[in-house]
Each structure stands twice: as structure tokens, then as C-alpha cells.
Amino acid sequence: LFSITAFAQRTEANLTEANVPAYTLPDPLQMADGKTVTTVQQWNKVQRPYIYHLFETNVYGRFPRTPVQMSFKVTSLNPYALDSLATCKQITLYFNRADTNAQIHLLLYLPNKVRGQVPVFLGMNFYGNQSVVDDTTIPITPHYTVKGPGIVDNHATEASRGAQASQWPIKDIISRGYGVATFFYGEVEADKPDGWQTGFRTQLKDVLHIEPQEWSAMGVWAWALCRALDYLRQDRRVNEDLVLLMGHSRLGKAALWAGASDPRFAMVISNESGEGGAALSKRDYGENIEIITRNFPHWFVANYKTFANNTAALPVDQHMLLSLIAPRPLYVASAEGDQWSDPRGEFLSARNAEPVYKLFGKEGVGTETFPHVQQPTGEFIRYHIRSGKHDVTSYDWEQYLQFVGKHMAMR
Ligand code: GTR
């Protein structure tokens, strides 16, 4: 007898550990010719570009390398922000003289108590710059936004001011001597299947010499992070060698791809990035390729969907994305209440990126055992699972600040 369920599309996520089918992960150190990478030079010259290209072809699309003529305009400068603890700068980034509609509004906080150049955390935000801090000098984004607090009919209202402040403890970060930079990902491309039609993938296609369907929303969001980095590196208050990428959830996926694409980022922090981010995709637990490409077809290149019911054929898995960050410090964080993101799959991904860090003489997560909650582990790849839901909390930030502090002291 044939079971008809064998032919049915899988639509529900598996959330039972015992039901995870067997899977095989590709070895990041195994080269196309079957030989194993043994030197950093082989990794840098042969294997790393090979793996990167596999991610371009199969997951995120081609990453345009055409230089753009950027210009920057400081639209607001407040030296007395956050009870005079910080200087707040708002900067508009332009990419093309012919189409000045393609803009990024960067919000930058710099600590006043520190003189000279400071390390800066950079991350995109979900609902507009006005959502990260309650400050009426920050314009409310007019762009399409996904559902959230203070969002009405996909547009931000006054009620969205500071609604994400708990995820952005800017005062705490500033008081530790770091800067914070953020921009709204929806300025780059509206997060919906047809968002590319009005976003940067269309606006800048002639400038970047790339067709919209050659890359993806995730690709262009990552590209935008690199352009924000271009700005930050020439701001005289920013330590250009210490721009620390941070991203939560879908924005964590984009942060990982940006970090893999641009070695100028000093460090990458993935907060619950899940499927298509830090989590393994061949391990069928939580969100999987079938579900994510059905709900968010625009996030990835069309090719990715072809692996939806055939992950075994996918030549990469996400531990290889993490390995592209090596030897830079990498933090992967999960939450116990966020099984959708597959915490164990994020840990195993971090664990399986370790051989590449070891090639550089760097220690990774350093344990095979899935850690208990609130027990961060690892040196150059650090991992934690905390209790609580899908979110960015003060616990998460405290770990990131300690991690950055430790690695800066080691420099
Ligand atoms: C979910 C999606 C996840 C994650 C999350 C988020 O709907 O399934 O992959 O990206 O959104 O961004 O909060």
C-alpha cells in the first residue's frame, strides 16, 4: 500500500525533537575536489570564495560589488541627547544622483563621556527609527511597515515612538562607551513579496548592474548594512575597525549575510535569527525551507525554494554561513521560548562552524553539549540560550557587551 501522505506537501513545522529525521551536514573544510583544507591560505583563496558563491547561487542571490557614488547629509545633530549622555546624529545616505529617492536614514548615538573614536553597534530596526527611542526629533517613517505596536494599516503612527525601546537599551550601551547606529530595513525594501518593485532592487538596478531577481530582499538588506558601514567608517567619531553588526530574527539573517559578505565588520551578533540565519536547515525542526519560502518568497533567491522538500540536495547548510565569519568573533543567541527558530539547530550550526575557526587557531563554542539556559559558552563563537520568548532582552545585550569588551581587551 502506498501512503498518500508521502506525496503531500509538508506545511506544519516539526516541533518534536524525537521526530527530527536523520540528516548529513557538508563539511566546510571539504573542497570541491574532495580534498580537505589544511591551511588558512587554502581557506581564504579557494574554499571560502567557493562556499560564499554557493550561498549566492542557492540562498541569498548575487551580492553586487559595483561601487556606488554615495553622499551623506547630516540632517540633525543633538549634543544633549539621552540626558546629555550622548550626541545624536541623523544622517541621510544617498546612492545615486539620478535617483535621490533611494535613501537610508541612519540614526547614530555616540557617547559624550568618551573622547575620540568609539566602537559602534550597527543593526537595522523593524518599524522605523522613531520606534527605537522616544524622541520627537526623529521623523516617523512614511514607508510600509510590517504589523507591530503603533503600526496601523502597515504604517507607523505616533504610538510607535519608542515602542521597541526595550530591544534597544541605547542608554546602557552608551554608558559602557559604545555607539549605536540603526536604520529602518523597510526603507531599503518593503518586507512583502512585491516590495522589490519599489525598493532598492529596482531603484538601483542600473547603478549596481544587477536585475532585481538576481538577488533577494535579504541580499539587499545586507547590502544596505554594508553601505551604512561605508558611512560609519568615515565618521571621525567612529572606530572604523570596530563596527559590530547586530541583528534580530529576520534582521539577524541579513546581518549574518552582511558579515559574510563584508570582512570590514569586526564582529557579528545573531539574535534568534533562526531558519535562513544561524539555524541548520537540513535539520527539520521549527521553521523549515518549505515554510519560510512559502511565507516569505522574497527573502531568498528563487533557487532556494527548489530545496524545500529536498534539503539533502542543498550543497550548503547554515554552519557554513557562520564559518564565513571566521576568524572574527561571532555570537549566536537563542531563546527557549522561541522553538520556531530551532535553538538546538542554532547551537549545532555554531558547533559545526568551529573547524574553520580552529583552522585560524581560534576556539569556537568549545562544547558538544547543548548548554542550559543562561549559560553562555564559547570563545570566538559564543552561544547562549536564555529563557523567555522571541525577543531582544537586557540579558542578551549584557552578554553582547561582555563579549565585545573581552575581545577588545584581547586585541
Ligand atoms: C517569522 C519568521 C522567522 C523570523 C521572524 C521575525 O515570521 O518565520 O523566520 O524571521 O518572523 O523576523 O521576527
pLDDT tens-digit map of 126-173: 999 999 999 999 999 999 999 999 999 999 999 999 999 999 999 999
Whole-number Å distance between alpha carbons of 267 and 154: 33
- Going by C-alpha positions, the residue among 44, 217, 241 that lies closest to residue 144 is 217
Residues 6+ apart with CB under 8 A from 317: 25, 26, 280, 281, 282, 349, 352
List, for the chain, all residue ranges whose pLDDT scores fall below the cut of 70: 1-11
Q: Is 335 in the pocket of ligand 1 (CB under 6 A)?
A: no
Pairing label, strands 267-271, 330-335: parallel
pLDDT computed for residue 40 by the predictor: 98
Distances in Å between the Cα of 67 and the Cα atoms of 44, 64, 241, 373 are: 23, 9, 20, 44
Report whether 150 contacts 182 (CB < 8 A).
no
Q: Is 281 in the pocket of ligand 1 (CB under 6 A)?
A: no
Whole-number Å distance between alpha carbons of 52 and 263: 12
Q: Is 274 in the pocket of ligand 1 (CB under 6 A)?
A: yes
- 327 preceded by a cis bond (ω within 30 of 0): yes
Between the CA of 68 and the centroid of ligand 1 the distance, in Å, is 31
Q: Which ligand 1 atom minimizes the distance to the CA of 274?
A: 9
Distances in Å between the Cα of 140 and the Cα atoms of 133, 145, 291, 378 are: 11, 11, 32, 40
pLDDT computed for residue 11 by the predictor: 61
Report whether 258 contacts 222 (CB < 8 A).
yes
Report whether 244 contacts 255 (CB < 8 A).
no
Q: Which ligand 1 atom minimizes the distance to the CA of 277?
A: 9
Whole-number Å distance between alpha carbons of 352 and 28: 8
**Closest C-alpha to ligand 1, atom 12:** 250
Full-model pTM: 0.97
**Closest C-alpha to ligand 1, atom 13:** 249
Q: Is 298 in the pocket of ligand 1 (CB under 6 A)?
A: no
Distances in Å between the Cα of 138 and the Cα atoms of 6, 21, 106, 134, 151 are: 53, 49, 11, 8, 16
Terminal CA-CA length for the chain: 64
Whole-number Å distance between alpha carbons of 376 and 215: 35
Catalytic residue among 76, 155, 175, 390: 390
Q: Which ligand 1 atom minimizes the distance to the CA of 291?
A: 8
Residues 6+ apart with CB under 8 A from 313: 307
**Closest C-alpha to ligand 1, atom 10:** 250
Q: Is 279 in the pocket of ligand 1 (CB under 6 A)?
A: no
Between the CA of 185 and the centroid of ligand 1 the distance, in Å, is 14
Q: Which ligand 1 atom minimizes the distance to the CA of 292?
A: 8
Which helix (H) or strand (E) segment holds residue 245: the answer is strand 238-248
Catalytic residue among 131, 160, 216, 249: 249
Q: Is 292 in the pocket of ligand 1 (CB under 6 A)?
A: yes
User: How would you class 40 by CB atoms within 10 Å of its CB: exposed for 0-12, middle for 13-18, buried for 19 or more?
Assistant: middle
Q: Is 248 in the pocket of ligand 1 (CB under 6 A)?
A: no
Q: Which residues of 217-234 are buried (b: 16+ CB within 10 A; e: fewer)?
A: bbbbbbbbbbbbbebbee
Between the CA of 228 and the centroid of ligand 1 the distance, in Å, is 23
Provide the grid cell at 36: 580537505
ipTM value? 0.97
- Going by C-alpha positions, the residue among 327, 179, 167, 171 that lies closest to residue 243 is 179
Between the CA of 274 and the centroid of ligand 1 the distance, in Å, is 8
DSSP 8-state assignment for residue 10: P
Strands (E), 30-128: 71-80, 86-94, 103-111, 118-125
Residues 6+ apart with CB under 8 A from 80: none
pLDDT computed for residue 8 by the predictor: 43
Ligand 1 probe mutation, 15, 287, 298, most atoms within 8 A of CB:
287
Known catalytic residue at 249: yes
Between the CA of 249 and the centroid of ligand 1 the distance, in Å, is 6
- Going by C-alpha positions, the residue among 48, 37, 19 that lies closest to residue 328 is 48
Q: Which ligand 1 atom minimizes the distance to the CA of 272?
A: 4
Whole-number Å distance between alpha carbons of 238 and 241: 9
- Going by C-alpha positions, the residue among 196, 177, 186 that lies closest to residue 129 is 186
Q: Is 287 in the pocket of ligand 1 (CB under 6 A)?
A: yes
Residue 162 CB: number of other CB atoms within 10 A? 17
Q: What percent of the chain has pLDDT over 70?
A: 97
Q: Is 125 in the pocket of ligand 1 (CB under 6 A)?
A: no
Q: Is 249 in the pocket of ligand 1 (CB under 6 A)?
A: yes
- The mean pLDDT value of the chain amounts to 96
Pairing label, strands 151-152, 155-156: antiparallel
pLDDT digits (tens, 9 = 90+) for 241-284: 999 999 999 999 999 999 999 999 999 999 999 999 999 999 99
